[in-house]
């Protein structure tokens, strides 16, 4: 388990490291208007990804994980449905004459033909992490180069990099799985979306509990607020991506309560670190990742750090609801959480100060909502208590960040030493936690009763 996760972490970490470097470059070289526009393009791309997935990706991953034979039929039917829907989305590119960013809809078919979800369904998380690295690396390196040499062409080159990355990933996946890259469109295949409409609505709803909220709040906030919020949310989505990779790496095993507890534990460690960086070393971390002017928005990053930790506690909950065929509850939970995020974000923008920290607060409220609702829907004895029992020693260890900073000031050396010491102590503690016998008595009892 740890070996597999380590390889996935290296690949994912490298991709995100390049992504972080791109954030530094764009904040140093681009103005607020350009950053805000890139944010809207990025958000629109993710919206297309969510619409094309629309529950089909999650349900197909579940089917591919269960089936040993005839999985290719599920793959081709799913890809045909995705490609057909993308052709309709492509027609929306004509609205680019009204809103320039909408030209991006023309690339919908390339996004649809990417089937990296199938790698996770077929139990190939390492290869899945490899292609995910490609998808992150190409746009990131494009931003880095364009920010320095082609700043005026940055939006166009960013769009081209998205096309190239999705094409490369889709082509590589088809070769790995020995399936065709191109599929025939079929109107009949769209019925598969109808069968998964509940999951689909949840999938699109969750998009707005993140960078997707900018698609709406860009109409209510200034370019400055949107550009700052985009950079902060971009960092937050990197954390969400790490958390998602952890869950996807053990998608087949997560059906077992004990395994889900392990997955949530690993996610919570990431959540504690994410929060600690901005809570104890805000100025240092922000200046490392962004322009110095971003230190004025420490509150925004701290709030998103809280959102990251809250979401990590229930990382496996959504997948477990699907595996238990509780699609209805899964859908309702994410839709309600998305409504909370959107409504609170709009209200904050209209009736309070135009600031990125309130956009972050809307995300936090959404994450709290979906976490609470998922826990209630699973209705597993001691769900929250078991996880808090596991993670509280890690939270205590995290205070080393504060102690070391207090004793030796906030600088790169104390920050590096804090990370090293935290990692060492958590690793020693985790060796015991990740053994089956160290899990909660309630979890073990529930598993035995089920058998």
- Report mean pLDDT in 10-residue bins for the chain, 451 residues: 62 74 80 80 84 78 72 85 90 77 86 84 75 85 87 87 90 87 86 79 83 82 84 86 75 70 87 91 86 86 93 86 80 91 90 84 94 89 85 88 85 88 86 58 44 41
| Domain span holding position 226 | 201-435
pLDDT tens-digit series, residues 246-257: 776 666 667 677
Q: Are 341 and 366 in contact (CB under 8 A)?
A: yes
Asked if residue 301 belongs to a domain, the reply is yes
When divided into structural domains, the chain yields a total of 2
| Two structure tokens written together for 220 | 């209510």
Domain edge (last residue) among 152, 167, 195: 195
pLDDT recorded at residue 446: 47
pLDDT tens-digit series, residues 140-163: 888 889 888 888 888 889 889 999
Residues in Cβ contact with 267 at an 8 Å cutoff, skipping those fewer than 6 apart: 243, 246, 247, 312, 313, 315, 316
pLDDT recorded at residue 5: 59
Does 270 lie in the same domain as 372?
Answer: yes
Cα 31 from Cα 227, distance rounded (Å): 9
Ramachandran assignment for 70, one of left (phi > 0), alpha (psi -120 to 50 degrees), beta (any other): left
| Two structure tokens written together for 359 | 């956009």
Does 244 lie in the same domain as 178?
Answer: no
- Label residues 251-282 b or e (16+ Cβ within 10 Å = b): bbebebbebbbbbbbbbbbbbbbbbbbbbbbb
Does 169 lie in the same domain as 86?
Answer: yes
CA atoms within 13 A on the CB side of 129: 26
Asked if residue 412 belongs to a domain, the reply is yes
Sole residue written with tokens 């990706």: 57
Domain edge (last residue) among 173, 195, 217: 195
Does 417 lie in the same domain as 277?
Answer: yes
Does 370 lie in the same domain as 260?
Answer: yes
Asked if residue 306 belongs to a domain, the reply is yes
Cα 215 from Cα 208, distance rounded (Å): 8
Would you mind telling me the total number of residues written for the chain in this entry? 451
Asked if residue 155 belongs to a domain, the reply is yes
């Amino acid at each position: 388990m740890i070996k597999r996760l380590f390889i996935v972490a290296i690949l994912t970490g490298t991709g995100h490291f390049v992504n972080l470097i791109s954030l530094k470059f764009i904040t140093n070289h681009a103005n607020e208007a350009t950053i805000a526009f890139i944010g809207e393009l990025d958000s629109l791309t993710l919206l297309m990804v969510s619409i094309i997935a629309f529950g089909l990706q999650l349900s197909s991953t579940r089917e591919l994980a269960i089936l040993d034979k005839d999985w290719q039929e599920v793959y081709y039917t799913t890809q045909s449905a995705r490609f057909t829907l993308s052709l309709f989305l492509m027609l929306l590119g004509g609205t680019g004459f009204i809103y320039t960013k909408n030209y991006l809809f023309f690339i919908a078919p390339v996004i649809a033909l990417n089937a990296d979800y199938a790698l996770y369904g077929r139990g190939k998380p390492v290869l899945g992490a490899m292609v995910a690295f490609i998808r992150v690396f190409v746009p990131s390196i494009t931003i880095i180069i364009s920010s320095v040499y082609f700043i005026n062409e940055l939006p166009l080159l960013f769009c081209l990099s998205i096309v190239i990355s999705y094409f490369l990933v889709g082509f590589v996946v088809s070769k790995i799985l020995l399936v065709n890259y191109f599929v025939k469109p079929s109107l009949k295949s769209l019925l598969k979306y109808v069968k998964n409409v509940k999951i689909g609505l949840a999938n699109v709803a969750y998009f707005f509990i993140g960078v997707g909220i900018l698609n709406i709040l860009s109409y209510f906030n200034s370019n400055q607020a949107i550009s700052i919020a985009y950079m902060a949310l971009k960092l937050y989505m990197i954390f969400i991506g790490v958390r998602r990779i952890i869950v996807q790496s053990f998608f087949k095993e997560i059906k077992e309560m004990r395994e889900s507890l392990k997955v949530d534990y690993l996610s919570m460690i990431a959540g504690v670190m994410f929060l600690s960086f901005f809570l104890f070393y805000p100025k240092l971390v922000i200046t490392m990742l962004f322009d110095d002017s971003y230190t004025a928005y420490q509150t925004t990053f701290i709030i998103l750090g809280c959102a990251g930790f809250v979401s990590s506690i229930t990382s496996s909950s959504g997948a477990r609801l699907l595996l238990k065929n509780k699609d209805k509850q899964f859908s309702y939970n994410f839709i309600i959480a998305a409504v909370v995020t959107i409504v609170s974000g709009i209200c904050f923008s209209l009736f309070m100060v135009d600031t990125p920290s309130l956009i972050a607060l809307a995300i936090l409220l959404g994450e709290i909502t979906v976490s609470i609702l998922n826990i209630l829907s699973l209705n597993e004895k001691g769900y929250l208590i078991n996880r808090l029992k596991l993670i509280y020693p890690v939270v205590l260890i995290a205070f080393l960040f504060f102690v070391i900073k207090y004793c030796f000031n906030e600088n790169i050396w104390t920050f590096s030493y804090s990370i090293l010491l935290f990692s060492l102590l958590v690793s020693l503690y985790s060796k015991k936690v990740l053994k089956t016998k160290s899990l909660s008595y309630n979890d073990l009892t529930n598993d035995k009763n089920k058998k």
